[in-house]
Chains A and B, each alone.
Chain A
């Protein structure tokens, strides 16, 4: 399977994705503007709260090609953050009280400067999250020691595992992904991750394998813990339930499977004002591989940079100006406000 970009698919163009999201559907349904929904609850313009999370996408290269990937990542994506841009991120970080640096990709570990970057962030004394796809740990000998490396820097590992069964996981993430993920989880457990009494945190991410909303996070966590322990002897800390946003490859799936109208309708009808108040873009800045800043990872993938009231590149980072910005919104935002809400840390209500 190739990325949309490699296939020259029209949805690789972010303007076309935005056009699809904003125009009436083929059935003639025009969904209400997300901005109007926020106006109705006096939340427009949406303003940031306090900057707490610095999310850095260090590149789109990945060893997997997941069907729902909002990054359109894969082995054929060559966009990689340079050490110079990482240094600009570190310089910006040093100016802030940001508590958490959240490293994502692609598979962030495939960036040749990944380990250097983690070490430098560690020196600044910030919590480090790595969004590890698990299979990278067993993909090549040079990654086998990642669990030890994570442990040395007390990295908080967050990993996608869409289900506790091979069939549903592999259908979404590729053949053999479940089996390799189990191997990697055992390696993480072996160095102390997810173990009772350990301060090494291993969280898992569930996302629905299709055009439906996630189940209750608490119930799923209980079931994942039971099934992974009984079936494979695996332990982890928390499970985050995340809603699939209608962009990139998941948007392609929705359109191809003729589920787009029904899914958008579901998201719009499930709009939850409390979830809207707690959206992650209010305390997060997302930095792309080439150093531009966005309100969230999804805006990054739609190339919707932070509002121009603030400098848009990390080399000109200005926290005060960013705090005055209004968050850029579009129709995909319905994905974060549906039901129990959704963020990179799971539900928000």
Chain B
């Protein structure tokens, strides 16, 4: 067994997560499948969103899975990287926008 918390082989076992709680797992996977089906958004757009979110939540399993899935849905390397930049921009922006809070506080207490 790999001596790390993350083992790539574990991704294949995701489907077996229901072993300890089949009812909840069944509900989750049914929902999951429905979420990623073609809808108002295409399956490819959803895959790119998933790829971006995977980087935000920093889940190596999800990054692996949605890199392959995005390629198999026909996305280009450029589109995939742009999706990640969107995630990075929001993440960076989320820190930066709190600067307003800092500025508010500064203005409150500084003469």
The reply to whether B76 and A165 form a contact with Cβ atoms under 8 Å apart is yes
Q: Is the CB of B72 within 8 A of A214?
A: yes
A216 & B74 in contact (Cβ 8 Å cutoff)? yes
* Pair B74/A219 contact, Cβ less than 8 Å: yes
Tell me the count of chain B residues lying within 8 A, CB to CB, of chain A. Answer: 10
Render B56-92 as a binary contact track against A, CB cut-off 8 A, 1 for contact: 0000000000001001111011000000000000000
In the complex with contacts A220-B74, A223-B74, A215-B44 CB distance below 8 A: yes
Least CB distance from A241 to B in Å reads: 9
Contacts of B68 in A (CB 8 A): 212
Judged by DSSP, the binding face of B is helix
> Please, what's the 1-or-0 string for A191-230, where 1 marks a CB less than 8 Å from any CB in chain B?
0000000000000000010101111100110010000000
Contact call A210/B74, Cβ cutoff below 8 A: no
Task: Report the count of interface residues on A (CB-CB < 8 A).
Answer: 14
Taking a contact as CB atoms under 8 Å apart, the answer to whether B72 and A212 are in contact is: yes
Looking at the assembled complex, report how far the CB atom of B109 sits from the nearest CB atom of chain A, in whole angstroms. 54
Among candidates B42, B43, B71, B77, residue contacting A212 with C-beta atoms closer than 8 Å? B71
Q: Flag if A219 contacts B42 (CB, 8 Å).
A: yes
A residues in contact with B73, CB < 8 Å? 215-216, 219
Chain B contacts of A214 at CB under 8 A? 72
Q: How far is the CB of A335 from chain B (nearest CB, A)?
A: 15
* Chain A contacts for B72, CB-based, 8 A: 208, 212-215
- Report chain A residues within 8 Å CB of B74: 215-216, 219-220, 223
| Nearest-Cβ distance from residue B78 to partner chain A, whole angstroms | 8
Q: How far is the CA of A220 from the CA of B73 in the complex (A)?
A: 9
In the assembled complex, the Cα of A223 lies from the Cα of B73 at a distance in Å of 12
Q: A208-B71, A212-B71 are in contact. List 7 more A-B contacts (CB 8 A).
A: A163-B76, A168-B76, A212-B72, A215-B74, A216-B43, A219-B42, A219-B74
